[in-house]
Structure 1
Amino acid sequence: MRTKTVRVLLVEDDDGDALLVEALLEEVSAPFVLSRARTLAEAESKLSDAQCVLLDLGLPDSQGLDGLHRLLRRPNAPAVLVLTGLHDERGGIDAVAAGAEDYLVKGQVDGELLMRGIRYAVERRRAEEAQRLLREAELSAAERSRLERGLLPNPLLNDSDVQLDVRYQPGGQRMLLGGDFYDVVGMPDGTVHAIIGDVCGHGPDEAALGVCLRIAWRALVLAGEPAEKVLRTLDQVLVAERHGDGIFTTACMVTVAPDRSSARYFLAGHPEPLLMAGRQIVDLPQSKIGVPLGVLPDYAWTGVDVQLPTGWSLACYTDGLIEGRVPDDTDRLGVERLCEILDRHLRTGPDWMDSVIAEVTELNGGPLDDDVAILLLKDGK
């Protein structure tokens, strides 16, 4: 099996010692590409092309461990193998403790030992990097799981006759968690409150903000605050907690009356819900889509009242479902075409959510860019 060539950067100001290193590698026909820097500053400019650095601790612009520390602080630093003098073996031991892969004493090294030392240093750094990436992946997975529990909680619908069905699909090729959130709370008098929201952006900061808003919403609803005050308070929480001035959140908040004959919904820059009676889509009253949370201070959102037909179901969703691409069209999918897709799938049966998401994804030509969340409330009487 052919041995891979290793790119080695020798950082050595002494020409004699540099020639010795080159001769030792040639002695064993080592498959190395050797380059040289005479100062630490020169070495830093060549670092990106090296897999291993042979570092002398005594340089014109660096003495002792200072040079090692500077190299190791560089992003994606390569393996560093320290070269010490006969009377400075202690410096080599200190260098290993400071992060060098190993040290070699000048005058006590032959070609074979130097070759093995370089290969060991490169493989050890590769293994360390693999372990680091694994730890980061594990921490990321744990953080994602924690955020997901906060964004997508267990609804509080004890003994309620309203049925709930939800779907959530992270967006993007890497399927990263974004800022979509939802929650449902049933009150002692039979009223059912629901919210679905979407923090603009995609990543852990947006997800954390979504968790904050979702928890604040649940606390306000359980405290019996009126819907208008809930939205105003969520707006204040968003402004206080967001990580940038331009961050906003869209939301749709729904309240289903105890007798299940009517509902009121509020829109804060969010797509309006879809009302269905059995397998038919029902037109909702004309509504004003208010501004998103975090846009205008002291904005007053107004609710829309709707009568619920027998066998009703109400679907709230985030805009990831309507912003996918359509073949041979520069426009996004949009609400109108979503309703056409939904109408077809409703005729085939009640379990339409997965099939609708699948068709929208197929039309997009691959994973949707944004998260998709669907919250479906159904009359369980």
Structure 2
Amino acid sequence: MPVPVGEGRESAPRTAQAVVPRQAGTLLVIAPDPARAPLPELSDAQGVRFRVRTARNLTEAERLFTDDVDCILLDLALAGSEAQDLLHQVLRLAPGHAVLVLAGEDDAERAAEAVRFGAQDYLCRDELDARQLGRAIRYAVERKQADRAQRQLTESRLRAQENARLERGLLPTPLLAGSPLRFAARYRPGRSRALLGGDFYDTVRTADGTVHAMIGDVCGHGPDEAALGVELRIAWRALILAGLCGDELLATLQRVLEHERDSDELFATLCMVDIAPDGRRAGVCLAGHPAPLVARPDAAPRLLPQTGAGPALGLLPRARWARTGVELGGAWSLMLYTDGLIEGRTAAHSRERLGQEGMLRLVGRGLAAGATGEALLDTVLADARDLNGEELADDVAVVLLDRG
């Protein structure tokens, strides 16, 4: 197609500082017969001429389609089905770019159909002039940008709604009515995601006064892992309210995981604690999860024993998990956490992990400064982040129960 294309450059003003000319836009023309409708010389509102590239078919167009292309002009000079197929291929090739179609007077219906399929507008080949074409290109590009912005906004709202639903499932309101224990929890997504991961927790007081708490972590990240975490959390609450506990409960949860996971390699760790109605004794079950810590007013924080700990859920088909009894005393704080906390680093760019010993020091320091409840969790998480030098890489969930 013989199209005169200017260089789009003007002499720099003779001042102390030269003005760089604005870059011209680029139009990619796809026309089976370029000589059939030569384009007029094009320029935008500021007088800068468009660069024009021409292609006779999609193969040539793919070679010419680069990031600087602003708009595609498709000549519908083919027979009906061929033109429709070409339009579909162009829309697939450049889903984020404005597309105009060029048609004759007899092809108005087909051109309108092209707009319904996804083109931004159509032009009549016999009435084409530079002003009309330049305006159509500008409006098509602006319309495509507005459509893209609207689609991104809609997708963002849908993701926010999905995240809210996942959050309600993963991070529920505890059922502790009638219990003297104080509850606090925090969840922080890892630095590489704004979405929730597979960490989950729950706390329930049953009719006999026993308080049951758990925290878990599905391996991996993403909506599938988060959804599985929600299922395990809801199943745990239902089983607790149905009267199951200990090894029987964990074995049932493992069957739920095995039925719901989409890969045999997917597993989940879990820490489960039951606190007696008098608040002085507890039982601990660990399924591949780090042991909780307990802090008393007269002693430094320490880890609860890990004797009898079993494998993570989903690893061994006939696994067993023992319950270990512990004495808590009159006043105490019990903290359950996921491994995202202890896998933080002790300093920026260091390979040394915080670990459980480092976590105990952070908790001890926070308690010594008088922090309790949510303030204590915020202090520990902030200190872990500061040591790490940036946001922690993995998701972190922390649950704190206090008595006395």
Equivalent residue number for residue 293 of structure 1:
313
Q: Quick one: which of 356, 370, 379 aligns to 2:394?
A: 370
What is the number of equivalent residue pairs in this alignment? 378
Q: Is the 8 A contact 1:171 1:372 kept in 2?
A: yes
Q: Give, in angstroms, the shift of residue 243 of structure 1.
A: 2.7
- What is the alpha-carbon distance in structure 2 between the residues aligned to residue 26 and residue 118 of structure 1? 10
Q: Is the 8 A contact 1:40 1:61 kept in 2?
A: no
Q: Give, in angstroms, the shift of residue 85 of structure 1.
A: 1.7
- What is the alpha-carbon distance in structure 2 between the residues aligned to residue 143 and residue 4 of structure 1? 42
| Residues 288, 235 of structure 1: alpha-carbon distance in 2 compared, 3 angstrom cutoff | same
Equivalent residue number for residue 382 of structure 2:
358
Equivalent residue number for residue 30 of structure 2:
11
Q: Is the 8 A contact 1:3 1:31 kept in 2?
A: no
- What is the alpha-carbon distance in structure 1 between the residues aligned to residue 285 and residue 345 of structure 2? 28
Q: Is the 8 A contact 2:44 2:50 kept in 1?
A: no
| Residues 232, 118 of structure 1: alpha-carbon distance in 2 compared, 3 angstrom cutoff | same
Equivalent residue number for residue 230 of structure 1:
249
Root-mean-square deviation (CA, aligned residues, Å) is 2.2
Equivalent residue number for residue 58 of structure 2:
40
CA deviations on 1:42-96 (whole Å, 9 max, x unpaired) are 3245445332110012359972322112222346441110011232122111111
CA deviations on 1:8-38 (whole Å, 9 max, x unpaired) are 21101213146x22x4326995532222211
> Partner of 2:27: helix, strand, or coil?
strand
- What is the alpha-carbon distance in structure 2 between the residues aligned to residue 337 and residue 221 of structure 1? 33
| Residues 335, 123 of structure 1: alpha-carbon distance in 2 compared, 3 angstrom cutoff | same
Mapping of residues 171-190 of structure 1, within 5 Å: 171-190=190-209
> Unpaired runs of 5+ in structure 1?
none
> Partner of 1:366: helix, strand, or coil?
coil
Q: Give, in angstroms, the shift of residue 253 of structure 1.
A: 0.5
Q: Quick one: which of 353, 366, 383 aligns to 1:345?
A: 366
Q: Quick one: which of 55, 58, 70 aligns to 2:89?
A: 70
Equivalent residue number for residue 42 of structure 2:
25
CA deviations on 1:168-218 (whole Å, 9 max, x unpaired) are 111124432111110011011111111101111122111111101000000
Q: Give, in angstroms, the shift of residue 124 of structure 1.
A: 0.5
One-letter amino acid matched to 1:40: L
One-letter amino acid matched to 1:375: V
The answer as to 2:354 corresponding to 1:329 is no
Mapping of residues 61-210 of structure 1, within 5 Å: 63-74=82-93, 76-210=95-229
Q: What TM-score does the superposition give when structure 2 sets the normalisation length?
A: 0.88
Equivalent residue number for residue 8 of structure 2:
none
> Unpaired runs of 5+ in structure 2?
1-18
One-letter amino acid matched to 1:161: P
- What is the alpha-carbon distance in structure 2 between the residues aligned to residue 305 and residue 181 of structure 1? 24
- What is the alpha-carbon distance in structure 2 between the residues aligned to residue 251 and residue 75 of structure 1? 47
Q: Give, in angstroms, the shift of residue 309 of structure 1.
A: 1.9
Q: Is the 8 A contact 1:44 1:71 kept in 2?
A: no
Q: Give, in angstroms, the shift of residue 343 of structure 1.
A: 1.4
- What is the alpha-carbon distance in structure 2 between the residues aligned to residue 32 and residue 366 of structure 1? 46
Equivalent residue number for residue 71 of structure 2:
52
Mapping of residues 308-327 of structure 1, within 5 Å: 308-327=328-347
- What is the alpha-carbon distance in structure 2 between the residues aligned to residue 236 and residue 46 of structure 1? 56
| Residues 77, 127 of structure 1: alpha-carbon distance in 2 compared, 3 angstrom cutoff | same
Q: What TM-score does the superposition give when structure 1 sets the normalisation length?
A: 0.93
One-letter amino acid matched to 2:268: T
CA deviations on 1:215-268 (whole Å, 9 max, x unpaired) are 000000000012211111111111211232221111101111122221111111
Which segments of structure 1 move beyond 4 Å, counting only runs of 4 or more? 1-4, 26-30, 59-62
- What is the alpha-carbon distance in structure 2 between the residues aligned to residue 372 and residue 139 of structure 1? 24
